[in-house]
Structure 1
Amino acid sequence: MLNKVNEHVWAGRTDHTENRTSFRYHQVVELVNLEVICQSPNTCAIIGFESEEGVRRNKGQLGAAKAPDALRSELAKLPWKFPENKRLVDVGNIQYMDTNLEKAQQQLGDTIANALEKKMTPIILGGGHETAYGHYLGVRKSIGKEASLGIINIDAHFDLRSYDEQPSSGTMFKQILEHDNMSSYFVVGIQRYGNTKELFDTADRLGVKYEYEENMHIGNMDKLTSDLEQFINQHDYVFLTLCTDVLNSAFAPGVSAPSPFGLDPSIVRSIIRTVTTHKKTLSFDISEVNPVLDENNRTVKLGAYLTNEAITTFLGGVIHDASS
């Protein structure tokens, strides 16, 4: 079910009660009922997905179901950079109550589709990376069966495992590609030794485009940016999904599968900016943040900052250069 978020999750320092240039997220966010809200362009809609059943099925470490509210708590403290015509709404959390993952993913999809139909930009806070399949269901429902859809995944893993027994947090993109010939998949951050040869073979068979983690450094960002833009231009629509286990574990210890050779946060930030700048990009999700495994809230805070990057570019905000 979709539950309204406790307003106390959105709390933080208040520098001024009237001067909007002093506002933070917690002062502008609106807790709304998506069913009754009218069309609202220039609006980011936060949707929480409190699921980790996919992680459990994938034999991962549990705790990601606590991430949506934890991420909100860190977002709440960040400065809000936009005028009154740019809105941030929070439609609540899809609360996962049993082992029916597929039903929860469908509900997430319906909620995302509803937000898109109202001209909002969905910002989905997972949850395990099974979040991405619900994300896909919502986008596909909104754009129709005939539109071409590009899926960009920032991830250390392909998530192309077999779903013969049951879907999990490691099967989503195989599910999509084997049943939807109008979708294609580009994953950046792949760990050479984080995926079996069978998974590489599956990726090749399904025509997956991918970039190794070891090639993703500051000196190679121009090529990666060009590759991403070329991929986006080949599709009618795109959505972006971030699995936080792609990050170097020194920066993000609170994930189910930490990556010692993971990406630097500045690289992930650059990719988010590149993808969300495009008008074809409809939505963003962040998954696999695990507050239970975190150290001093480092991963949660980093996840909130990366989410803020997506919101900022979606709403057309100015990203100030650190040297200015």
Structure 2
Amino acid sequence: MSAAPGVWQGRIDDEEPGTTDRWHQRVRVFDAASRGGVALIGFAVDEGVRRNHGRPGAAQAPQAVRKALANVPIMGEPPLWDAGDIECTGDDLEAAQAALAQRVAQAAGQGCLPLVLGGGHEVAWGTFQGLVQAQPDRQRLLVLNLDAHFDLRMAAHANSGTPFRQMHESCAARGKPFIYRVLGISRFANTQALFDRADALDVRYWLDEALQTESGVRAALAELARELQECDAVYLTVDIDALPAGVAPGVSAPAPLGVPLWALEQAIDLVLASGKLCGADLAEMNPQFDRDNLTAKVAARIAARIARGSNVQGD
């Protein structure tokens, strides 16, 4: 049975010889019998962005990205499942994150790669919890964030700026190392307090300024490659606002400089080549501020790249 017929619609090239399938022809509803492949999970929530005094709208992103994915040609993707959306009732962000964690854990438990479509970056706390639930004994989980922001904020109530600080606290409580790496940090979008906290937590990061040239990207990825060798698994979280505003205008916080798309894709490819990816999510795409669906198409390109490069096959 096809998934979400109202969203998974698109072009059909009946008269073209050869393989012409697109995502809308391959995505199926995720259920208890689904095995292997990639499970898309929507996190239609931006309560964390609202709490963080950002501009809401990211809750609409999962459907926008699905629509952009619908016409992407199939080129080696594994089985594709749609596990539906997690929504937020009122302002109960914590319940939404717990529901996401449960669905991520279920997908991982069935041998699928959870690929979550956020939503604000509060999605990361839900995804992380689900991966921990699925493999609680995992020792060295590398959290790789492609982002202009650390999102290590201190706050009375969790929001889109706190997920990685929450992960640190979770790791400390469970006696696990907190291995957090960030590519794309902007010196103009993080306070000194956040840089100091990152240093105190032994966070390794690369500035957006250092990722503008091929030599700079090669140096960063060489260091990241060593990190990948030492970890047991990788959780990849991609904040779309890591990209330049001209490439990704429809985000919660547009980046004046940002990391070039080609550099971000090289980092993703390196993670995929490691064979250690256990889960991924996309965050902060905001359709309300998009132009010509450009940002949705960029997010879809990234999602499809992750799916194609994943090493999870179906039965």
Please give the TM-score of this superposition, normalised by the length of structure 1: 0.90
Change in 2 beyond 3 A, CA 1:152/1:20 = farther
Counterparts of 1:17 and 1:70, CA distance in 2: 28
What does the per-residue CA deviation read over 1:185-234, in whole Å, with 9 as the maximum and x for residues that have no partner? 00110001111000000000111110000111322222222211211222
Does 1:228 find its partner at 2:224? Answer: yes
Does 1:49 find its partner at 2:65? Answer: no
Report the AA paired with residue 136 of structure 2.
Answer: G
Counterparts of 2:39 and 2:285, CA distance in 1: 19
Q: Which residue does the alignment assign to 1:72? A: 66
* SS of alignment partner, residue 180 of structure 1: helix
RMSD of aligned residue pairs (Cα, Å): 1.9
Counterparts of 2:193 and 2:65, CA distance in 1: 35
Q: Which residue does the alignment assign to 1:263? A: 259
Q: 1:102 aligns with which of 67, 71, 94?
A: 94
Alignment of 1:152-171 (within 5 A): 152-163=144-155, 165-171=156-162
Alignment of 1:1-324 (within 5 A): 6-16=4-14, 21-33=19-31, 36-38=32-34, 40-41=35-36, 43-82=37-76, 86-163=78-155, 165-181=156-172, 182=176, 183-216=178-211, 217-315=213-311
Native 8 Å contact 2:118 2:282 kept in 1? yes
- Displacement of 1:102: 0.9
Native 8 Å contact 1:5 1:93 kept in 2? no
| 280-289 or 215-224: bigger deviation | 215-224
| 94-103 or 217-226: bigger deviation | 217-226
Report the AA paired with residue 174 of structure 1.
Answer: R
Native 8 Å contact 1:50 1:93 kept in 2? yes
Native 8 Å contact 1:16 1:23 kept in 2? no
Native 8 Å contact 2:38 2:312 kept in 1? no
Native 8 Å contact 2:3 2:27 kept in 1? no
Change in 2 beyond 3 A, CA 1:17/1:37 = farther
* SS of alignment partner, residue 8 of structure 1: coil
Q: Gaps (5+ residues) in structure 1?
A: 318-324
Counterparts of 1:23 and 1:16, CA distance in 2: 10
Counterparts of 1:146 and 1:11, CA distance in 2: 39
Counterparts of 1:75 and 1:17, CA distance in 2: 22
- Displacement of 1:280: 1.5
- Displacement of 1:25: 0.5
What does the per-residue CA deviation read over 1:148-206, in whole Å, with 9 as the maximum and x for residues that have no partner? 2110000000001003x100000010111123142310011000111100000000011
- Displacement of 1:295: 1.2
| 177-186 or 97-106: bigger deviation | 177-186
- Displacement of 1:74: 0.6
Q: Gaps (5+ residues) in structure 2?
A: none
Counterparts of 2:240 and 2:291, CA distance in 1: 15
- Displacement of 1:307: 1.1
Q: Which residue does the alignment assign to 1:321? A: none
Counterparts of 1:116 and 1:149, CA distance in 2: 15
Report the AA paired with residue 91 of structure 1.
Answer: A
- Displacement of 1:18: 10
Counterparts of 2:8 and 2:100, CA distance in 1: 22
Report the AA paired with residue 44 of structure 1.
Answer: V
Change in 2 beyond 3 A, CA 1:20/1:174 = farther
Counterparts of 2:237 and 2:24, CA distance in 1: 24
Counterparts of 2:18 and 2:43, CA distance in 1: 30
Counterparts of 1:17 and 1:123, CA distance in 2: 33
* SS of alignment partner, residue 188 of structure 1: strand
- Displacement of 1:251: 0.7
- Displacement of 1:272: 1.1
Please give the TM-score of this superposition, normalised by the length of structure 2: 0.93
